[in-house]
């Protein structure tokens, strides 16, 4: 980790009234949850993401898509938030306002204690029916394997149950993106963590923050589609970098030195 860049990032946080953390799949990587593109490994490698994470893919083969989500839900259940999620929650004690806008569906930010979390792409532990979006609140056992699994049926209308996540070609939950965009426009610092920046409209949030005059800080193990619009690129795993950033800010506030 580059100490000079880290110090610049700590300085930007030190002056911020509102910080928005925009997180993607790389955020949960150190928890043991594969990133979205990596989740197509093994048995799932021969399917493309548009096929598995899309309404037409589900319509064509519900058991295949439900099986893939069951497999991933098992991973999420067996894993837990890491030091990076906790660092973002701690940041709330050091900055007047912090909001997390996440593309992740694992629920780890709330679990780690962040109080304002906008889930752009839904949550893997919530369910609805495919035909009518009826909320489905039934006990759904975790997968034991990672192959196709026939989805349960909606108790109200009998159509297939699906995860309450946002697939390609679907609208984001009403009002959520609008709130995220408004936070992005008015924040002083945006931390862009662990996203490839391929998927819209989430990838447009850093651009909204830039227009609003925010300092953009990216945390990623490698450059992304968004790196060239960043002010500071901190290369490294989210857990290490976010922990160092928040520790650096706390040290600065207590007068005990810099990061």
Query: 25 and 194 in contact (C-beta within 8 Å)?
Result: yes
For ligand BJW, give the closer residue by CB, 170 or 178: 170
How is the beta sheet containing 117-119 ordered, strand by strand? 117-119, 97-102, 18-23, 189-193, 215-220, 232-235
Query: 230 and 223 in contact (C-beta within 8 Å)?
Result: no
Q: What is the residue whose two structure tokens read 């989805």?
A: 151
Phi-psi label, residue 95: left if phi above 0, alpha if psi -120 to 50, beta otherwise: beta
Q: Which helix (H) or strand (E) holds 76?
A: helix 62-78
Positions 170 through 189 that interact with ligand BJW (CB under 6 A) = 170-171
For ligand BJW, give the closer residue by CB, 159 or 195: 195
Out of 40, 196, 215, 243, the residue judged to bind ligand BJW by CB under 6 A: 196
Does 56 participate in catalysis according to the annotation?
no
Q: What is the residue whose two structure tokens read 């810099």?
A: 258
Per-residue exposure over 137-175, b if at least 16 CB sit within 10 Å of its own CB, e if not: eeebeebeebebbebbebeeeebbbbbbbbbeeeebeee
Query: Minimum distance from CB of 257 to ligand BJW (Å)?
Result: 26
Q: Is 36 a residue that touches ligand BJW (CB under 6 A)?
A: yes
Q: Is 24 a residue that touches ligand BJW (CB under 6 A)?
A: yes
Out of 41, 174, 175, 222, the residue judged to bind ligand BJW by CB under 6 A: 222
| Residue among 209, 218, 219, 211 at smallest CA distance from 188 | 209
For ligand BJW, give the closer residue by CB, 159 or 224: 224
Query: Minimum distance from CB of 118 to ligand BJW (Å)?
Result: 13
Start-to-end C-alpha separation, the chain: 11
| Per-residue contact flags (x/-) with ligand BJW for residues 106 to 145, judged by CB under 6 A | ---------------x------------------------
Which of 15, 121, 134, 258 is the catalytic position? 121
Out of 57, 81, 151, 237, the residue judged to bind ligand BJW by CB under 6 A: 237
For ligand BJW, give the closer residue by CB, 160 or 252: 160
Q: How far apart are CA 107 and CA 132, in angstroms?
A: 24
| Per-residue contact flags (x/-) with ligand BJW for residues 38 to 77, judged by CB under 6 A | ---------------x------------------------
Total residues at interface with ligand BJW (CB under 6 A): 33
Give the footprint of ligand BJW on this chain (CB under 6 A). Answer: 24-26, 29-30, 35-37, 53, 103, 105, 121, 165-171, 194-196, 198-201, 219-222, 224, 237-238
The catalytic residue positions are 121
């Amino acid at each position: 980790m580059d100490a000079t860049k880290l110090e610049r990032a700590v300085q930007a946080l030190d002056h911020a009234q509102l910080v928005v953390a925009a997180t993607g799949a790389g955020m949960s990587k150190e928890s043991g949850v594969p990133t979205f593109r990596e989740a197509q490994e093994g048995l799932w490698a021969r399917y493309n993401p548009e096929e598995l994470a899309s309404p037409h893919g589900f319509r064509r083969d519900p058991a295949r898509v439900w099986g893939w989500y069951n497999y991933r839900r098992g991973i999420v259940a067996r894993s837990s938030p890491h030091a990076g999620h906790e660092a973002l929650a701690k940041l709330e004690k050091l900055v007047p306002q912090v909001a997390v806008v996440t593309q992740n569906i694992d629920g780890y930010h709330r679990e780690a204690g962040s109080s304002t979390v906008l889930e752009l792409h839904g949550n893997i532990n919530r369910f609805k029916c495919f035909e009518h979006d009826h909320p489905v609140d039934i006990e759904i056992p975790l997968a034991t394997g990672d192959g196709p699994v026939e989805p349960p049926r909606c108790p109200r209308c009998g159509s297939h149950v699906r995860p309450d996540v946002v697939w390609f070609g679907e609208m984001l939950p009403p009002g959520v993106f609008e709130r995220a965009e408004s936070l992005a426009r008015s924040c002083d610092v945006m931390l862009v963590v662990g996203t490839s920046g391929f998927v819209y409209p989430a990838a447009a949030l850093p651009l909204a923050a830039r227009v609003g005059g925010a300092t953009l800080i990216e945390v990623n193990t490698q450059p992304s589609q968004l790196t060239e619009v960043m002010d500071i690129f901190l290369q490294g795993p989210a857990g290490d970098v976010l922990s160092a950033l928040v520790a650096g800010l706390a040290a600065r506030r207590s007068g005990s030195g810099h990061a």
